[in-house]
Structure 1
Amino acid sequence: MHTRWRAAHVLAYQNGHHALLREGEVVWQNDTIVHVGRGWEGPVDRDVDLGDRLVLPGLIDLDALTDIDHLILDSWASAETGPGLQWSRAYAARSRDVFTRAQRKVVREYALVQLALHGITTYMPIASEVHSSWAETFEEFADMAETSRRIGLRGYLGPSYRSAVNIVDEDGRRDLYFDEERGRAGLRDAERFLDHSEALADPLVQAALLPCRVETMTPELLRATAELARRRGVPVRLHCLQGTVERELVHRLHDCTPLELIERSGLFDTHLLIPHGIVIDRHPSVSGEDTGDLDTLVRAGVSVIHCPQTSLRYGDVLHSFGDYRAAGLNLCLGTDSFPPDLIRGMDLGVHLAKVVDGRADAAPAEAYVEAATLGGARALGRDDLGRIAPGARADLVAFRLDDIRDGVLDDPVRTLLLNGTARNATHSVVDGRPVLVDGTLPGVDIEALRAEAQALFATMRAAYGERDHKGRSADELFPPSFPAFDEAR
């Protein structure tokens, strides 16, 4: 079957980079693009005129929220309430799953629907293990794979696992609570999912190893992860280099930096992706000088998943996007929190880079769009994603630019980033199959899903109180922005 999209603006791929095609068309047969340009004279079974829209390669989110977002609660925490959002030592010894398996399926569907509505076509999931009894399970991901296939997204999936959990002692000191057998069991679940994804034989379900944060991993579990990744030829994503607490805990336990711990484990010999990648030697909290960490990442072929929106919300920033890119490091993007809006994330990143580097051209819009498309494809080892060119997979997303609230139009890419959001997305296809159609997801009851998610958020919020080392309720941990109106006055 041949399908053609026609649009005022197409970000096509030509001569090794993106190029703007005006009044262009994209034609694909089944799952593969066969024509980009104008004047297609071949067969067309379905013809879609998108008008003034901008067609981009499908956006690749490699730290994609597949949860009900906790940032709406914890990004406002004070020095007094912040420690209460971690597990207490007592809770770690008796932890429980906040959600049932059926409820978790709803949470995953809600999150995946959000990705699709925001123009994401390929994703790697991230969720908060704080609501689990330990980490994620094979069963959860078998369920999520089915939901993802039904919606039509391309996922690189695998359950998270860890040897330890971040806790707070009664005196407020941060520490780790270890259960190494749970870590080993988690790795077995991850390997089981590798087998499961192979058995599915679905190009939209790819396997990956997704261990938790580096400080929660023992050296033994890191080495076992590296060995399994090499043996099975799958990518590894490890949250690392994202905060000073991580750095302090790793030094206390292993007398080295997180980067040194990764190198010792053998993970540099794998296809490694690191979300955030902020706190290295050049970060102001370390030495503020480049003493070789960036070069170490480049030589190891690591991809850094930059999440500008989430980093800013927690008060940090990359030092800097331009320097990482100039050094030859592959940068890709993640959202990591709600909304899963890579357009907002790219716009924030562009302007944060101006502040960090002190130049208006520190990180131009096109550099961020490349990270969200070509950078993500490189991180996954896929030369058939992240580009609109003959032979590439038909993963596309269209954004409207004709709303008066988007202002006047100059360059369509800059206009979208500066004036729009990912909610401008109206159409998407993944592997040639429609996902987002006129701003809707056929077959998904959005209103029912929204109501279910709100009820589950209330369950999630209430559970924070049982984990707090001081025993405070959720209402005490999360006070309102303003006091309630007193009707008696």
Structure 2
Amino acid sequence: MTGARGPAGAPEAAAPVAAATSAEAATALRASHAIVWDEARGGFAELRDAVVLVRGARVEAVAGAAAGAALSERADETIDLGEALLMPGLIDLEGLVDIDHLLLDSWWGAEHAARLEWSAEYAEAPHEVLTPAERSTLRRYGLVQLILHGITSAMPISTEIHGAWAETHDDLLDTARTASELGLRVFLGPSYRSGVHVTRADGSPGIHWDEARGEAGFADAVRFLDTVEGLADPLVTGVLVPCRVETVSDELLARTAEVSAARDALVRVHATQGLADERDILADERGTTPLDLLDRAGLLNERLVLAHGVYLDVHPDVHGEDRGDLARLADAGATVVHCPLTNARYAFWLERLSQYLDAGVNIALGTDSFPPDLIRAIDTGVQLSKAQHDDLGMGMLAEYVEAATLGGARALRRPDLGRIAPGAAADLVAFALDDLRMGAVDDPIRTLTLAGTGRDAVFSMVAGRVVMRDGRIPGLDQRALRAEGQRIFEKLRGAYAERDALAGPEGSSEAQLFPPVFPRV
């Protein structure tokens, strides 16, 4: 850990773990480089010619070259990863489980983007665009993408624009079963909302409210917590996921807080994400700020996972000075999920990550768009930090890597995740460093961040199970899934025209809504 920047630097006790038995199979993982937990320093350290011994679902031992051979002798199998960086599995708390809409909605100004929301008329009688089987395929597509990009733990998110209203209990049960089959660790709950953003016929924005649908969604979310308990699957944890805070009623937010406290369940909510579409609406219609709304609902506490956390008082588009928002988050023990790549694509920047860390706010990372690539997200965040500070020394690479591992683990209250250490969960990922296109290897993290992407992930293990090897997921027909994903994407794209509030008398077309970069001839 570089310096004392908030809670990420504090050593944590390992979670209680069951003792490994001699009957459990052991696997030795060998790699030229590894990022491991150094108990003496209370932080990460680089280990060359590393061997990590995994027994059952836990890491049993870690050694460098000198003692590595002895560890390998204790293993039933040795997997030699060669010239690769072995590191803690990446934790994505905004992991997209979707066939992404970013291709379609991140290129346009506000006037054109308004056409991609639901029309007020459509909101009166929305419907599912996809069949149940297609929705299941879409979720599998998204979960596979997470694994292929080095994610081992995810709190999924998906767009609701193509649904009848919001996610259902059965949607998330299917997600849980698919994730468990693939071997991905997930923290799940159906998203619910009392209202939806709409564009009226005159082009003005608004929210269409349907409290009955909100109540039904919340009931589904609570029922899903019961279902997860019944599953007793160590890879699946139930959480509460209210939608964007301005679309959830005060009553549902308060009841969310009550259930969260009673069941000790995490709550992820999208807030401090927008100005006109969130902060201004809350000020005008409910007389509050996003943070105050969460506080009065009883949600501002250590169970809160706050997606984005951009438009706080320190942001120049709000007050441009610290009036206490960061201290409130830190004192509450809440987590901000920073999504630097998505922020860049939609042009809303978190104002200096260093301020958040110095204030003691726990920071985790999320992808929130396609590809779910935390390596690209880290690189984007590092470059932004340099530019914001006008200082190459503020690259903050270590802090971003820690956010993608330790910060996520802290948010999940799972100190056994996010690190490679004896007793920790065997959630590991390896990125290849041997491709000529990767260039020279000096510091492996710098090399991966500057020259690589999440697509360089070649191996991952979750709870001691190999879920990806040589860049492939065992038993998965990746070619067939890609083809089906393309078909579903084209069906989703075609549905936008039906919801276009600003269509002319003859309606709109895909070509009008999504013109190509250059004319097609």
**TM beyond 0.5:** yes
Instruction: Tell me the equivalent position of 2:252.
Output: 221
Q: Partners in 1 of 2:296 and 2:494 — Cα distance? A: 41
Instruction: Tell me the equivalent position of 2:197.
Output: 166
Secondary structure in 2 aligned to 1:239? strand
Q: Partners in 1 of 2:307 and 2:77 — Cα distance? A: 39
Q: TM-score, normalised by structure 1?
A: 0.98
Q: Which one is further off, 294-303 or 431-440?
A: 294-303
Instruction: Tell me the equivalent position of 1:89.
Output: 120
1:175, distance to aligned residue in structure 2 (A): 1.0
Q: Partners in 2 of 1:61 and 1:270 — Cα distance? A: 18
Identify the match of residue 262 of structure 1 among 259, 274, 294.
Answer: 294
Q: Decide whether the 8 Å contact of 1:118 with 1:423 is kept in 2.
A: yes
Alignment of 1:119 onto 2:150: yes
Identify the match of residue 17 of structure 1 among 43, 63, 67.
Answer: 43
Secondary structure in 2 aligned to 1:392? coil
Instruction: Tell me the equivalent position of 1:30.
Output: 56
Q: Partners in 2 of 1:346 and 1:25 — Cα distance? A: 26
Instruction: Tell me the equivalent position of 2:102.
Output: 71
Q: Partners in 2 of 1:340 and 1:309 — Cα distance? A: 10
Q: Partners in 2 of 1:154 and 1:383 — Cα distance? A: 15
Alignment of 1:374 onto 2:406: yes
AA aligned opposite 1:253 = E
Alignment of 1:151 onto 2:151: no
1:284, distance to aligned residue in structure 2 (A): 1.4
Q: Partners in 1 of 2:354 and 2:376 — Cα distance? A: 19
Deviation string for 1:78-131 (max 9, x for gaps)? 343111011111010011111111110000001111001001000001111111
Q: Partners in 2 of 1:8 and 1:44 — Cα distance? A: 18
Q: Decide whether the 8 Å contact of 1:321 with 1:363 is kept in 2.
A: no
Can you give the 5+ residue segments of structure 1 that lack an aligned partner in the other structure?
none
Give runs of aligned pairs for residues 271-350 of structure 1, distance below 5 A.
Answer: 271-350=303-382
1:320, distance to aligned residue in structure 2 (A): 1.0
Alignment of 1:476 onto 2:476: no
Secondary structure in 1 aligned to 2:242? coil
Q: Decide whether the 8 Å contact of 2:185 with 2:236 is kept in 1.
A: yes
AA aligned opposite 2:351 = H
1:173, distance to aligned residue in structure 2 (A): 1.5
Deviation string for 1:411-446 (max 9, x for gaps)? 011110111001111000000000111110111111
AA aligned opposite 2:476 = V
Secondary structure in 1 aligned to 2:458? strand
Secondary structure in 2 aligned to 1:81? helix
Q: Partners in 2 of 1:466 and 1:349 — Cα distance? A: 37
Give runs of aligned pairs for residues 90-109 of structure 1, distance below 5 A.
Answer: 90-109=121-140
CA RMSD, 1 decimal: 1.0
AA aligned opposite 2:376 = R
Q: Partners in 2 of 1:420 and 1:268 — Cα distance? A: 37
AA aligned opposite 2:35 = L
AA aligned opposite 1:396 = L
Deviation string for 1:171-202 (max 9, x for gaps)? 22111111111111111101111111111111
Q: Partners in 2 of 1:52 and 1:449 — Cα distance? A: 30
Q: Decide whether the 8 Å contact of 1:65 with 1:340 is kept in 2.
A: yes
Q: Decide whether the 8 Å contact of 1:8 with 1:24 is kept in 2.
A: yes
AA aligned opposite 2:180 = R
Give runs of aligned pairs for residues 213-252 of structure 1, distance below 5 A.
Answer: 213-245=244-276, 246-252=278-284
Secondary structure in 1 aligned to 2:155? strand
Instruction: Tell me the equivalent position of 1:443.
Output: 475
Distance 1:352 1:278, change over 3 A: same
Q: Decide whether the 8 Å contact of 1:230 with 1:270 is kept in 2.
A: no
* Count of aligned positions: 485
Q: Partners in 1 of 2:302 and 2:425 — Cα distance? A: 25
Q: Partners in 2 of 1:78 and 1:326 — Cα distance? A: 35
AA aligned opposite 1:480 = P
Q: Decide whether the 8 Å contact of 2:330 with 2:361 is kept in 1.
A: yes
Can you give the 5+ residue segments of structure 2 that lack an aligned partner in the other structure?
1-24
Q: TM-score, normalised by structure 2?
A: 0.92
AA aligned opposite 1:388 = I
Alignment of 1:46 onto 2:81: no
Q: Decide whether the 8 Å contact of 1:322 with 1:363 is kept in 2.
A: no
Q: Partners in 2 of 1:37 and 1:94 — Cα distance? A: 61
Deviation string for 1:369-389 (max 9, x for gaps)? 000000000000011000000
Secondary structure in 2 aligned to 1:428? strand
Distance 1:357 1:428, change over 3 A: same
1:470, distance to aligned residue in structure 2 (A): 1.4
1:170, distance to aligned residue in structure 2 (A): 1.6
1:270, distance to aligned residue in structure 2 (A): 5.3
1:398, distance to aligned residue in structure 2 (A): 0.4
Instruction: Tell me the equivalent position of 2:225.
Output: 194
AA aligned opposite 1:222 = L
Q: Partners in 1 of 2:139 and 2:383 — Cα distance? A: 32
